[in-house]
Amino acid sequence: MAVSRLITLEQFIVEKEKEKSGAQGEFSMLLRDLSLAIKLIQREVARAGINDILGTTGQRNVQGEEVQKLDVFAHQILINFFSFRGQIAAIGSEESPELIPINLEKGKYILMIDPLDGSSNIDVNIPVGTIFSIYKRLKNSGPLEAQEYLQKGEKQIAAGYVLFGASTVLVYTTGQGVNGFTLDPQIGEFLLTHPNIKIPAKAQYYSINDADLYNFPQPLQDYLADIHQRSLQNQSPLSTRYAGSLVADLHRNLLKGGIFIYPPTQKKPEGKLRLVYEANPVAFIIEQAGGVATNGMQNILTLEPQNLHQRTPLYFGPIEEMNYLKNFEVQPKPLQI
Residues of this chain that bind ligand P6P (CB under 6 A): 117-118, 120, 209, 244-246, 272
Least CB distance to ligand P6P at residue 113 (A)? 14
Cβ of residue 186: shortest distance to ligand P6P, in angstroms?
30
Alpha helices for 129-241 (secondary structure H)? 146-149, 218-232
Paired strand residues for 317:
292
Query: What whole-number distance in Å separates Cα of residue 43 and Cα of residue 84?
Result: 21
Task: Kindly tell me which of 87 and 119 has the beta carbon lying closer to ligand P6P.
Answer: 119
What is the secondary structure of 53-75 as a DSSP string?
--SEEEEE-TTSPEEEHHHHHHH
- Tell me the closest approach of the beta carbon of residue 193 to ligand P6P, in angstroms: 23
Cα(first)–Cα(last) distance of the chain, in Å? Answer: 40
Shortest spacing between CB 121 and ligand P6P, in angstroms: 7
Which is nearer to ligand P6P, 51 or 120 (by Cβ)? 120
| Other residues' Cβ atoms within 10 Å of the Cβ of residue 2 | 4
Q: In the bound complex, what is the minimum distance in angstroms from residue 61's beta carbon to ligand P6P? A: 11
Phi, psi of 259 (to 5 degrees): -110, 135
C-beta of residue 192 within 8 angstroms of C-beta of residue 179: yes
Taking the least distance from each CB to ligand P6P, the nearer of 274 and 326 is 274
Closest distance of CB 277 from ligand P6P, Å: 11
CB of 124 to ligand P6P, least distance (A): 13
Q: Which helix (H) or strand (E) holds 184?
A: strand 178-184
The strand ranges marked E within 185-257 are 189-194, 205-207, 239-240
With left for phi above 0 and alpha for psi between -120 and 50, is residue 198 left, alpha or beta? beta
Nearer to ligand P6P, 120 or 231 (CB): 120
Residue whose CB is less far from ligand P6P, 69 or 272: 272
| DSSP of 75-114 | HHHHHHHHHSSSSEEEEEETT-SS-EES-TTT--EEEEEE
Return the number of the residue (148 or 249) whose C-beta is nearest ligand P6P.
Answer: 249
Please identify, using beta-carbon distances, which residue of 108 and 251 lies nearer to ligand P6P.
Answer: 251
C-beta of 166 vs 337, nearer to ligand P6P? 166
Task: Find out whether 165 and 196 touch, Cβ atoms under 8 Å.
Answer: no
- Min dist CB 120 to ligand P6P, Å, is 5
